[in-house]
Amino acid sequence: MSSPYSIIESRLCSLAAGIPLLDKTDLAPLNGIMTGLDALPAMADLPPAFCSQIRHTISLIENIMLGAVEFGTGCMRLGQSCENMIRAAAALIMKKEPMDPEEIFPLEGTEAGAPLPEEQAGPYAAESEGDAPAARPFEGDPSLPVDFITEAREHLHTAERVLLELEVTPSDREGINAVFRAWHTIKGVAGFMNLKEIQDLAHGMESAMDRVRRGECTLNAANIDVLLESNDGLKALIKNVEKAISGDPFAAPGNYRALLDRLVLLDAARDSHPVAIPAEQEKTIGELLVEQGAVTRASVDSSLLAQELGDTRKLGEILIEDNGIPARVVAEALARQTAGKSAVEETIRVPVGRIDQIVDIIGEAVIAQSMIYADKTIMAIEDQNLTTKIGHAAMIMRQMQEMAMSLRMVSVKATFQKMARLARDLSKKCGRDIDFFTEGEETEIDKSVVEKIGDPLVHMVRNAVDHGIESPQERTLAGKPPKGTVRLRAYHRAGNIYIEVADDGRGLDREAILGKAVERGLCKGDARLTDNEIFGFIFLPGFSTAKQVTDVSGRGVGMDVVRRNIDALRGSIEIVSAIGKGTTFSIRLPLTLAIVDGMIVAAGKERYIIPTLAIVESLMPGEHQIETVMGKGRFVKVRSDLIPLVDLVALFGGTSIAPSTDNRNGIVMMVEDMLGKKIGLRLDEIVGQQQVVIKSLGEELGEITGVTGGAIMNDGSVSLILDIGGIVKLAHGT
């Protein structure tokens, strides 16, 4: 029986025989040589120096195809490298004991064992052992990587999402191919831009994923861990490129070398039971044409390679124009491929700053149009035709404003997928076994809101996994399934967006929270508090009932961040929990921070805007409902509860139409903050409900407690938008 080295020698001879026949106008054979070389390490236990030479050669082929190495010179070097490997394989056949690398590869024209020229240096050519490559200044045109950074992040996000799905369905061929394509694209562009560290790491990841495609490596949990960590490594490298453009040195992350080493082991790992690819998996148009016999595999590979090298034509167009495939055949294959699929909208990239400018300009136009419509001269004109035209113009302007606002709307999908990764990593770290489910990923919300909701969700998911879900042993003893469940859900309701984080864990301990609050002097032991008021204590800084502090949670700082961020978003949060059954955090947020739904109220000679999210009810209290307690302030009695009463005129130093002590003509609007604390706002009139565009008060005024911004009204005047959370703090002295 021939030895594995004999097979390798024979394979190398076959590959080398095709080198003299290479033509720079047809790169498919060159791609075939690279594929053949990539398969060699799987055939035998080759010495490290041999494996390194193979990778150097593959890198040389890639540089030839990308045009980084001149075609003729590159082919000569390729032939020399293959000849060296053939001699090395022959030497291994004759001599079985370990051999010195210099004995294996005595390169002609250089000293034995000398490295390949710089342009041939492959991804595993280490600059130094152990540590990451040294930091260096960014070289080249800083404008070139901008688009690469944006596209690379999209590819990395796709890869992470699909890897999490592959952990559940490891035989999903389309998912495997999607991850492979993402990393392959990053590697190719990084090589073109001379971003060697990114190219090297992406190549290692791509090679590992190619093993998975061939069924030589399984996507078990350990291997998914390595691939996800490597994906994080690429994210760090991309971030460092962004910093380097601004002048900082470009550096690789500290675990860069370790990732390369782990990928080599993953790449070489083979399983006796390869991944089975279901026959019913969706096929690409190229595969369909090959199956039909309408085109050869080599023609499809050549067309795909042309696309990677910059050909902007679609695959079908290349096959029709360059290979003579009838258009009808391609059309039929394309119809079968797209059957049952939904159409994908074409998109363009627009800087966020331009969208913000459009929103601001249209907002100003809406205000200007409203001012014209409210002008006394216009209102005095009794012309139905003019009134109809003005109304039609107002309707179009509102539609324009809604369309402009929709440009800033993005789905919460990306944020939810980050939480899925977080939950996966935390469950392993905390020793929990959980299923993480998401619902409503396509729910859209303003981009600025999406960016600011990330931190609160991180802390809430952390608490759900570390504190909410019990260990498998505890759950079994409690009669629950060993595997816990955490759900992240988003949906629209009544013009707001709701985001819920729910778990089926141990639930919040009401008595423990109340006891801690009493201990810290936050309330009295005999206080009659609702569940929501008691649960609200967990949002206070430093408040924690955790018996043990871990590196995940337990210090009482996370939920404080949740409260601050949601408060800043003009939102509210509600908690529903039951011991032994689980906890649900429900966050209510406005769809956008640029527009607020508000109730316009008059207090004295001024008008104010109260966000409708904060309004509970309105009433006209009688004399018996207004009380003064111990000379510390006035309260309004509502259904046996005493609620602090705040006079808007007195609060903002205005002039009251009716004396504040005379409540016969006054109105009290009950409002509450996100913790459920209520106050009554005394005002003179409720003018009506309206959507208004929020305007900053400017840096000169700074932050004013109880005011979140201003709005230009129909008559051109400015009304203050009230910050209910700030006013509640003033009323309660907190």
pLDDT in tens, 561-595: 788 888 778 788 888 888 888 999 988 887 777 77
629 compared with 537, residue with greater pLDDT: 537
Question: Using 50, 70 and 90 to split pLDDT, how confident is the model at 300?
Answer: confident
**Span of 77-81, 399-403, 543-547, 600-604 with lowest mean pLDDT:** 543-547
628 compared with 507, residue with greater pLDDT: 507
Q: Is 550 left (phi over 0), alpha (psi -120 to 50) or beta?
A: beta
Percent of the chain with pLDDT over 90: 3
What is the reported pLDDT for 337?
53
Q: What's the number of domains the chain is made of?
A: 6
Could you tell me the residue range of the domain that residue 541 belongs to?
A: 410-590
348: tokens are: 């363009």
End-to-end CA distance of the chain: 86
Exposure of 93 in the CB half-sphere (CA atoms within 13 A): 16
Query: What is the full DSSP assignment across 152-213?
Result: HHHHHHHHHHHHHHHHH-TT-HHHHHHHHHHHHHHHHHHHHTT-HHHHHHHHHHHHHHHHHH
What is the reported pLDDT for 126?
35
What is the reported pLDDT for 332?
60
Q: In the 8-state DSSP scheme, what is residue 219? A: -
**In terms of domains, do 158 and 216 share one?**
yes
Query: If you average pLDDT over residues 485-508, what whole number do you get?
Result: 86
Query: How many angstroms separate the CA atoms of 487 and 469, rounded?
Result: 12
**Span of 309-318, 447-456, 646-655 with lowest mean pLDDT:** 309-318
**In terms of domains, do 452 and 566 share one?**
yes
**In terms of domains, do 509 and 616 share one?**
no
- DSSP bridge partners of 626: 636
**In terms of domains, do 573 and 617 share one?**
no
What is the reported pLDDT for 601?
92
What is the reported pLDDT for 408?
78
Look at the chain and count its residues. Answer: 734
Evaluate whether residue 487 is within a structural domain.
yes
Evaluate whether residue 646 is within a structural domain.
yes
Q: Is the pLDDT of residue 525 over 70?
A: yes
CB 136 within 8 A of CB 196: no
**In terms of domains, do 390 and 497 share one?**
no
Query: How many angstroms separate the CA atoms of 110 and 688, rounded?
Result: 87
Does an H or E element contain 357, and which?
helix 352-374
CB 253 within 8 A of CB 237: yes
Q: Is the pLDDT of residue 650 over 70?
A: yes
**In terms of domains, do 229 and 301 share one?**
no
From 590, 623, 656, give the residue that closes a domain: 590
Query: How many angstroms separate the CA atoms of 726 and 679, rounded?
Result: 11
From 532, 558, 590, give the residue that closes a domain: 590
216: domain CATH number? 1.20.120.160
Number of neighbours of residue 340 by Cβ within 10 angstroms: 7
Evaluate whether residue 31 is within a structural domain.
yes
Q: Is the pLDDT of residue 701 over 60?
A: yes
Q: Is the pLDDT of residue 329 over 70?
A: no
Evaluate whether residue 275 is within a structural domain.
no
Query: How many angstroms separate the CA atoms of 615 and 603, rounded?
Result: 16
Q: Which of 100-114, 332-346, 643-657 has the highest average model confidence (pLDDT)?
A: 643-657
Non-local CB neighbours of 555 within 8 Å, separated by 6+ positions: 542, 544, 546, 549
Evaluated on CA atoms 413, 416, 420, 422, the torsion sign reads positive
Evaluate whether residue 113 is within a structural domain.
no
466: domain CATH number? 3.30.565.10
Query: How many angstroms separate the CA atoms of 329 and 574, rounded?
Result: 59
Q: Output Rg (C-alpha) for the chain, integer angstroms.
A: 34
What is the reported pLDDT for 383?
85
**In terms of domains, do 432 and 563 share one?**
yes
Query: How many angstroms separate the CA atoms of 413 and 444, rounded?
Result: 9
Question: Using 50, 70 and 90 to split pLDDT, how confident is the model at 487?
Answer: very high
Query: How many angstroms separate the CA atoms of 460 and 483, rounded?
Result: 19
Percent of the chain with pLDDT over 70: 77
Q: Is the pLDDT of residue 114 over 60?
A: no
**In terms of domains, do 555 and 607 share one?**
no
Query: How many angstroms separate the CA atoms of 503 and 110, rounded?
Result: 65
Q: Is the pLDDT of residue 472 over 80?
A: yes
Evaluated on CA atoms 498, 501, 503, 508, the torsion sign reads negative
Q: In the 8-state DSSP scheme, what is residue 115? A: P
116 compared with 729, residue with greater pLDDT: 729
pLDDT in tens, 359-376: 778 877 877 887 787 778
CB 726 within 8 A of CB 707: yes
Place of tokens 């200044």: 137
Query: If you average pLDDT over residues 475-488, what whole number do you get?
Result: 90
**In terms of domains, do 447 and 462 share one?**
yes
What is the reported pLDDT for 502?
92
**In terms of domains, do 558 and 430 share one?**
yes
From 364, 392, 407, give the residue that closes a domain: 407
Evaluate whether residue 583 is within a structural domain.
yes
**In terms of domains, do 399 and 417 share one?**
no
Closest CA to 258 of 221, 226, 236, 228: 226
Evaluate whether residue 714 is within a structural domain.
yes
Evaluated on CA atoms 343, 346, 351, 352, the torsion sign reads negative
What is the reported pLDDT for 543?
74
Question: Using 50, 70 and 90 to split pLDDT, how confident is the model at 15?
Answer: confident
**In terms of domains, do 226 and 359 share one?**
no
Evaluate whether residue 622 is within a structural domain.
yes
What mean pLDDT, rounded, does the chain reach? Answer: 76
Question: Using 50, 70 and 90 to split pLDDT, how confident is the model at 340?
Answer: very low
Number of neighbours of residue 640 by Cβ within 10 angstroms: 5
